[in-house]
């Protein structure tokens, strides 16, 4: 070993450097380094132990330095003195302290909440041990000239791949089915997940009771914790039998397991698990390439094999495309499960979802802006209030405080404020914002105090806000020269550029927040009044599953005197539909297919703008919506999915889904009576609620074993309006907070500035200035600033709010100049209100008092 | 413990410093102690002892002798002082005196 190259480990140097006296250090380290070479006679593994043993042995009473030397004691005393003065200053200026602490508290509270949200978002499905080894097969279709990725796959892809490729250690197909589940008197429609036996081995869903291996047995069923609770309460249901409707018959399954509650951050979940072989056994599914399921998961242990599997997947494209008539695919692909949640925005699939995109984008921005507002307030108030502390600073400097000490004094003061706000902020978040956010969003967000990352984030927020808001005022104040302070010749920057810029930025941010609130309130109105394209009022629908039920409901409706129209359909508008791909010239487009009926079109008042309603029962006639008609150009022949139809009419575009989604080119087909799955009934105006309740009771008497699935057509996307209300509430509160913080900052700034000019105003008053002149004087100071801020802010907020709405809605209130102006007017009136309070104060004070004040 | 009392390890190390002449520093003392007496102590303990000896005035130290092996750091070279020599002498005389008073002990031990 070349002795000149060796370096003692940094850790040793630092450790001994910290503990040992300086004059010992050189010989100690020298000896250690020499000792290192002596160590070569020992076995390699022993060396570090011996070395560190020797190193630590240097820390002995004789070598330890004095940690508290005299200078340090003085410094500590000084610090405690700073703490004392900090608290005194805070108490002497209750207004500015209150504004600072409140602003920072709210801002930090928001940050904590957003931390909770993001940590939930980023943990979704990350608890699965094999998350990096599991892949979802994807397929790509060409749609409207673009490649679109889907997560579903042919039912036999999993088995074929597993047989053909050794790289795939396990696989599980996943298929969701809605069906009836019955245990004694409990009958409900439930979602059953058909999976392969390896599902529970691949995914980390531990069982609370039972054995996961039994999933291989096709007569076993595994329940989620919630479902076990729903059907069996707290008792252990293992071994009990539960009935599941498998198409034509109720089949008994033995409960073999109950899952532990899922972690909160999950996307993939199940209510009931049964082996997918049941789907073939009861003829729900066939083994063909064209038969699709919701997803196929593969487990590939060695990451190097992924490319091999990807390559291998290419061989099956032909197999697949030969098996289907349309929807030909371009390629197969793989999506790693750990990234599925974030990929779900682009990858259409039923198993995972990404509902948090908007939150992920907008929440951090909101948090940063509010934090910035609070910091700006602090900076402005600190600078403005420095005028009252000039003498203190001067005195300190004269006694011998240097710049560094003054800076550390003000930084201490600031740290006290921030730390105080931090504690309040965390409490505020835990007690107020998080519960509010949870009740709005329905997510169960929580902060775990034991999470080290949380503390890291909290501390970094503390440090960053302290630095941003504390450094500039401290340096600014420390610069004052004592002789000028005492002579009174200090040019005190009431109009400092930074103050102006910060105030301007506050105007802009506040303007944005108000504008967002204004637009979202307008948008709520717009959404509530926007037409669905049909009239959902007074229509009651009920789901039926057998001819007896249809017969019974038909009789029931006939005997009822409030029913004015009655029809059976295969689909229910707003609940389900079919999607097919249709080739138009060069590109294929996705078509929504609704199997309704002529009576339903009449009943729901879907307006026919061209042609006529269905005229016969041949089921060869179709109605198309305006969007599709634009492509077709004329009534007449139209074929898709291998059948040819005659377009007899054009209906006005109607909304199937809510206003988040775009209307697609759509086709309405007639339903043969025997295919009816839903019965729709139009009631006399205002009678539907009563009718619905009666129907419910009669149904339960008649069919105790079948769940009553029915509803009002108006409610098919009832949640949508709730969500819009939530959004409005959320934006209103955000705007209120923003305006509150900005307003408080502005208020205190104006208070300080008028205080500083008290003498000037008093003299002016004595000389005969009118109140209006004084008011104009105060307004003038801020008018230019406000104007510039508006010029910057207006286009910015116009653009941002538009972007925000575009992300959320396909059909939304358009952002107009009017709403921008309204926001500006609200902001300006707030500004005037604040100024008015101060002018009022000036008018009330006796000029003699104002002159006596020692500034 | 009186100030001029010499502990057992102190005495040994003092002797080693005399033996090492001009190259008596912490690690060398430890090394020679190991070779001569088969006693292994930590370098920290050596430093502790020489520190005590220096306080008692039995040795004095100077810095010098930087080598590559030490990463260019100097050693603290120890040298025995006159009072150190006399302390050693005193300690030896004391023991010789004691041994002379019990001439049969060695035979007893041998038995």
User: pLDDT of B91-109, one tens digit each?
Assistant: 899 889 888 888 766 655 5
Number of domains in chain B: 1
SS3 state at A248: coil
Sequence-distant (6+) residues with CB within 8 A of A487 are none
Evaluate whether residue B46 is within a structural domain: yes
Evaluate whether residue B2 is within a structural domain: no
Query: What gap in Å lies between CA A346 and CA A336, rounded to an integer?
Result: 14
Contact B27 A57 (CB under 8 A): no
Residues of A in contact with B68 (CB under 8 A): 3-4
Sequence-distant (6+) residues with CB within 8 A of A283 are A247
Q: Which residues of chain A have pLDDT under 50?
A: 1, 855
Evaluate whether residue A371 is within a structural domain: yes
Query: Which residue in chain A has the smallest CA separation from B40?
Result: A54
Residues of A in contact with B51 (CB under 8 A): 62-63
Of A271, A317, A264, A376, the C-alpha closest to A745 is A376
CA A772-A775-A780 angle, to 5 degrees, is 125
CA distance A21 to chain B (A): 13
Query: What gap in Å lies between CA B76 and CA B58, rounded to an integer?
Result: 15
Length of chain A: 855
Query: What gap in Å lies between CA A502 and CA A739, rounded to an integer?
Result: 15
* For residue B65, pLDDT beyond 80: no
CA distance B63 to chain A (A): 9
Contact A59 B44 (CB under 8 A): yes
Considering only the beta carbons, identify the residue of A8, A34, A59 that sits closest to B27. A34
Task: For residue A324, count CB atoms less than 10 angstroms from its CB and return exposed for 0-12, middle for 13-18, buried for 19 or more.
Answer: middle
Choosing among A30, A36, A46, A52, which should be mutated to test the B contact, i.e. which has the most B CBs within 10 A?
Answer: A30
Evaluate whether residue A613 is within a structural domain: yes
Query: What gap in Å lies between CA A722 and CA A658, rounded to an integer?
Result: 12
Number of domains in chain A: 5
Are the beta carbons of A97 and A413 closer than 8 angstroms? no
Q: Do A302 and A159 share a domain, yes or no?
A: yes
> What's the mean pLDDT in B36-56?
88
Evaluate whether residue B1 is within a structural domain: no
A331 beta partners: A140
SS (H, E, C) A323-374: HCCCCCEEEEEEEEHHHHHHHCCCEECCCCCCCCHHHHHHHHHHHHHHHHHH
Residues of B in contact with A53 (CB under 8 A): 42
Considering only the beta carbons, identify the residue of A34, A54, A59 that sits closest to B70. A34
Residues of A in contact with B76 (CB under 8 A): 27
Query: Which residue in chain B has the smallest CA separation from A5?
Result: B71
Q: What is the CATH number of the domain that holds B46?
A: 1.10.10.10
Contact B68 A4 (CB under 8 A): yes
Query: Which residue in chain B has the smallest CA separation from A58?
Result: B44
CA distance A109 to chain B (A): 52
User: Helices A497-529 & A817-844, crossing angle to 10 degrees?
Assistant: 130
Residues of B in contact with A60 (CB under 8 A): 44, 47-48
Sequence-distant (6+) residues with CB within 8 A of A641 are A325, A326, A580
Query: What gap in Å lies between CA A790 and CA A784, rounded to an integer?
Result: 10
Q: Which domain holds residue A399?
A: 71-122+353-493
CA distance B48 to chain A (A): 7
Residue A570 has, within 13 A of its CA and on its CB side, a CA count of: 14
Query: Which residue in chain B has the smallest CA separation from A26?
Result: B73
pLDDT of amino acid A354: 79
Q: Do A505 and A555 share a domain, yes or no?
A: no
Contact A33 B25 (CB under 8 A): no
Q: Do A551 and A667 share a domain, yes or no?
A: yes
Considering only the beta carbons, identify the residue of B44, B52, B73 that sits closest to A30. B73
Contact A60 B68 (CB under 8 A): no
pLDDT of amino acid A228: 92
Contact B69 A29 (CB under 8 A): no
Q: Do A502 and A488 share a domain, yes or no?
A: no
Task: For residue A403, count CB atoms less than 10 angstroms from its CB and return exposed for 0-12, middle for 13-18, buried for 19 or more.
Answer: middle
Residues of B in contact with A28 (CB under 8 A): 26, 43, 47
Cβ within 8 Å of B, A 56-115: 57-60, 62-63
Q: Do A165 and A115 share a domain, yes or no?
A: no
Q: Do A565 and A683 share a domain, yes or no?
A: yes
Query: What gap in Å lies between CA A80 and CA A86, rounded to an integer?
Result: 10
CA distance A52 to chain B (A): 11
Handedness of CA A146, A150, A156, A161 (dihedral sign): positive
Contact B43 A53 (CB under 8 A): no
Q: Do A709 and A722 share a domain, yes or no?
A: no
Evaluate whether residue B70 is within a structural domain: yes
Query: Which residue in chain B has the smallest CA separation from A63?
Result: B48
Cβ within 8 Å of B, A 26-55: 26-35, 37-38, 53-54
Contact B44 A4 (CB under 8 A): no
A568 beta partners: A679
The number of helices, as runs of H, and strands, as runs of E, in chain A is 28, 25
Sequence-distant (6+) residues with CB within 8 A of A607 are A533, A534, A651, A652
Joined tokens for residue A850: 């104002």
Contact B63 A28 (CB under 8 A): no
Q: Do A752 and A705 share a domain, yes or no?
A: no
Residues of B with a Cβ under 8 Å from any A Cβ are: 25-27, 31, 42-45, 47-48, 51-52, 63, 66-71, 73-76
Contact A33 B45 (CB under 8 A): no
Are the beta carbons of A688 and A711 closer than 8 angstroms? no
Query: What gap in Å lies between CA A716 and CA A540, rounded to an integer?
Result: 11
Contact B47 A27 (CB under 8 A): yes
Of A146, A171, A149, A147, the C-alpha closest to A160 is A171
What is the layout of strands, in order, in the sheet containing A563-569?
A: A563-569, A678-683, A539-543, A710-712
Are the beta carbons of A297 and A202 closer than 8 angstroms? yes
Q: Do A217 and A286 share a domain, yes or no?
A: yes
Query: Which residue in chain A has the smallest CA separation from B44?
Result: A58
Q: Which domain holds residue B60?
A: 8-110
Query: Which residue in chain A has the smallest CA separation from B48?
Result: A62
Are the beta carbons of A824 and A794 closer than 8 angstroms? yes
Choosing among B70, B72, B77, B78, which should be mutated to test the A contact, i.e. which has the most A CBs within 10 A?
Answer: B70
Choosing among B29, B32, B44, which should be mutated to test the A contact, i.e. which has the most A CBs within 10 A?
Answer: B44
Residues of B in contact with A58 (CB under 8 A): 43-44, 47
Sequence-distant (6+) residues with CB within 8 A of A801 are A512, A515, A516, A519, A815, A819
Considering only the beta carbons, identify the residue of B43, B52, B63 that sits closest to A31. B43
Contact B69 A57 (CB under 8 A): no
The values of phi and psi at residue A242, to 5°, are -130, 140
Evaluate whether residue A610 is within a structural domain: yes
Are the beta carbons of A98 and A385 closer than 8 angstroms? no
Joined tokens for residue A283: 């003829």
Considering only the beta carbons, identify the residue of A7, A8, A35 that sits closest to B27. A35
Residues of A in contact with B44 (CB under 8 A): 54, 57-60, 63
How many interface pairs between A and B have CB atoms less than 8 angstroms apart?
73
Q: How many CB atoms lie within 10 A of CB B7?
A: 13
pLDDT of amino acid A227: 92
Length of chain B: 111
| A694-709 tens-digit pLDDT | 888 888 888 887 888 8
Evaluate whether residue A146 is within a structural domain: no
Of A746, A831, A786, A832, the C-alpha closest to A103 is A746
Contact A24 B69 (CB under 8 A): no
Evaluate whether residue B21 is within a structural domain: yes
Of A328, A330, A294, A326, the C-alpha closest to A137 is A294
Evaluate whether residue A309 is within a structural domain: yes
Are the beta carbons of A851 and A759 closer than 8 angstroms? yes
Instruction: Please state the ipTM of this predicted complex.
Output: 0.82
DSSP state at residue A569: E
Evaluate whether residue B37 is within a structural domain: yes
Q: Do A767 and A658 share a domain, yes or no?
A: no
Q: Do A666 and A610 share a domain, yes or no?
A: yes
DSSP A221-245: EEE-HHHHHHHHTTS--TT-EEEEE
Query: Which residue in chain A has the smallest CA separation from B54?
Result: A62
CA distance A72 to chain B (A): 27
Q: Do A548 and A645 share a domain, yes or no?
A: yes
Residue that terminates a domain, selected from A660, A684, A715: A715
pLDDT of amino acid B48: 87
SS3 state at B82: helix
Sequence-distant (6+) residues with CB within 8 A of A438 are A444, A445
Residues of B in contact with A31 (CB under 8 A): 25-27, 43, 47, 70, 75
């Amino acid at each position: 070993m070349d002795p000149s190259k060796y370096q003692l480990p940094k850790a040793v140097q630092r450790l001994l450097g910290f503990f040992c006296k300086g004059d010992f250090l050189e010989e100690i380290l020298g000896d250690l380094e020499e000792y290192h070479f002596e160590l070569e006679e020992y076995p390699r593994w022993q060396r570090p132990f011996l070395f560190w043993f020797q190193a630590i042995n240097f820390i002995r009473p004789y070598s330890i330095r004095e940690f508290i030397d005299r200078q340090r004691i003085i410094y500590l005393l000084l610090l405690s003195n700073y703490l004392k003065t900090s608290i005194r200053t805070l108490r002497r200026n209750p207004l500015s302290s209150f504004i600072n602490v409140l602003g920072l508290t709210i801002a930090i509270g928001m940050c904590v909440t957003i931390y909770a949200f993001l940590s939930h978002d980023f943990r979704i499905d990350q608890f699965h041990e094999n998350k990096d080894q599991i892949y979802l097969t994807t397929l790509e279709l060409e749609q409207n000239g673009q490649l679109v990725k889907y997560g579903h796959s042919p039912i036999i892809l999993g088995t074929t791949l597993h047989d053909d490729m050794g790289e795939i250690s396990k696989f599980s197909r996943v298929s969701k089915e809605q069906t009836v589940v019955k245990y004694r008197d409990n009958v409900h429609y439930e979602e059953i997940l058909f999976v392969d036996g390896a599902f529970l081995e691949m995914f980390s869903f531990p069982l609370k009771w039972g054995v996961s291996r039994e999933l291989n047995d096709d007569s076993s069923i595994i329940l989620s914790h919630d479902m076990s609770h729903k059907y069996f309460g707290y008792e252990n249901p293992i071994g009990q039998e539960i009935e599941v409707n498998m198409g034509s018959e109720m089949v008994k399954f033995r409960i073999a397991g109950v899952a532990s509650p899922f972690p909160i951050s999950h996307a993939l979940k199940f209510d009931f698990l049964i082996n997918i072989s049941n789907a073939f056994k009861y003829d729900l599914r066939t083994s063909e390439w064209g038969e699709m399921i919701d997803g196929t998961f593969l487990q590939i242990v060695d990451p190097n094999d992924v490319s091999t599997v990807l390559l291998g997947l290419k061989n099956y494209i032909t197999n697949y495309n030969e098996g289907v008539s349309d929807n030909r695919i371009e390629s197969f692909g793989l999506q790693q499960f750990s990234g599925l949640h974030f990929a779900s925005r682009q990858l259409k699939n039923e198993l995972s979802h990404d509902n948090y995109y908007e939150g992920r984008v907008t929440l951090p921005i909101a948090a940063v802006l509010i934090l910035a507002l609070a910091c700006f307030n602090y900076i402005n108030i600190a600078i403005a209030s420095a005028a009252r502390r000039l003498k203190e600073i001067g005195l300190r400097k004269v006694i011998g405080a240097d710049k560094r000490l003054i800076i550390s004094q003000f930084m201490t003061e600031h740290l006290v404020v921030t730390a105080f706000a931090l504690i309040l902020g965390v409490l505020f978040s835990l007690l107020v914002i998080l519960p509010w956010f949870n009740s709005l969003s329905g997510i169960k967000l929580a902060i775990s105090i034991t999470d080290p990352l949380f503390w890291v984030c909290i501390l970094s927020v503390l440090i960053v806000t302290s630095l941003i808001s504390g450094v500039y005022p401290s340096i600014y104040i420390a610069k004052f020269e004592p002789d000028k302070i005492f002579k009174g010749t200090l040019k005190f920057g009431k109009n400092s550029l930074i103050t102006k810029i910060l105030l301007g930025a506050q105007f802009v941010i506040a303007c944005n927040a108000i504008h967002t609130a204004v637009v979202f309130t307008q948008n709520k109105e717009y959404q509530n009044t926007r037409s669905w394209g049909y009239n959902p009022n007074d229509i009651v629908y009920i789901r039926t599953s057998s001819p007896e039920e249809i017969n019974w409901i038909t009789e029931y409706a006939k005997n009822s005197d409030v029913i004015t129209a009655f029809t059976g359909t295969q689909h229910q508008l707003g609940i389900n539909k079919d999607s097919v791909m249709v080739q138009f010239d060069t590109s294929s487009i996705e078509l929504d297919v609704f199997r309704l009926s002529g009576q339903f079109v009449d009943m729901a008042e879907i307006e026919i703008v061209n042609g006529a309603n269905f005229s016969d029962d041949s089921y060869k006639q179709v109605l198309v919506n305006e969007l599709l008609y634009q492509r077709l150009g004329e009534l007449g022949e139209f074929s898709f999915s291998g059948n040819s139809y005659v377009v007899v009419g054009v209906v006005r575009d109607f909304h199937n889904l809510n206003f988040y989604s775009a209307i697609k080119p759509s086709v309405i087909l007639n339903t043969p009576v025997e295919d009816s799955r839903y019965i729709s009934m139009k009631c006399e105006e205002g009678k539907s609620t009563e009718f619905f309740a009666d129907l419910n009771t009669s149904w339960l008497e008649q069919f105790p074993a079948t769940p009553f699935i029915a509803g009002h057509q108006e409610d098919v996307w009832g949640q949508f309006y709730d969500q819009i209300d939530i959004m409005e509430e959320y934006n209103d509160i955000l705007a209120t907070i923003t305006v509150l913080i900005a307003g408080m900052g502005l208020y205190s700034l104006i208070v300080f500035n008028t205080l500083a000019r008290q003498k000037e105003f008093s003299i002016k008053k004595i000389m005969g200035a009118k109140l209006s002149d004084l008011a104009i004087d105060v307004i003038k100071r801020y008018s230019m600033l406000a104007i510039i801020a508006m010029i910057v802010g207006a286009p910015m907020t116009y653009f941002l709010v538009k972007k925000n709405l575009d992300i959320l809605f396909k059909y939304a209130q358009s952002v107009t100049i009017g709403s921008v102006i309204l926001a500006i007017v609200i902001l300006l009136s707030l500004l005037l209100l604040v100024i008015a309070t101060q002018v009022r104060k000036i008018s009330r004070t006796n000029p003699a008092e104002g002159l006596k004040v020692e500034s | 413990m009186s100030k001029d009392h010499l502990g057992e390890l102190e005495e040994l190390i003092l002797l080693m410093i005399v033996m090492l002449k001009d190259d008596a520093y912490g690690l060398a003392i430890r090394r020679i102690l190991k070779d001569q007496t088969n006693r292994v102590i930590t370098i920290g303990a050596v430093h502790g002892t020489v520190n005590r000896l220096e306080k008692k005035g039995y040795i004095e130290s100077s810095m010098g002798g930087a080598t590559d092996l030490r990463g260019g750091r100097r050693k603290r070279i120890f040298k025995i002082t006159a009072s150190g020599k006399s302390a050693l002498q005193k300690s030896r005389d004391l023991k010789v005196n004691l041994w002379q008073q019990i001439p049969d002990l060695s035979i007893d031990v041998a038995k």
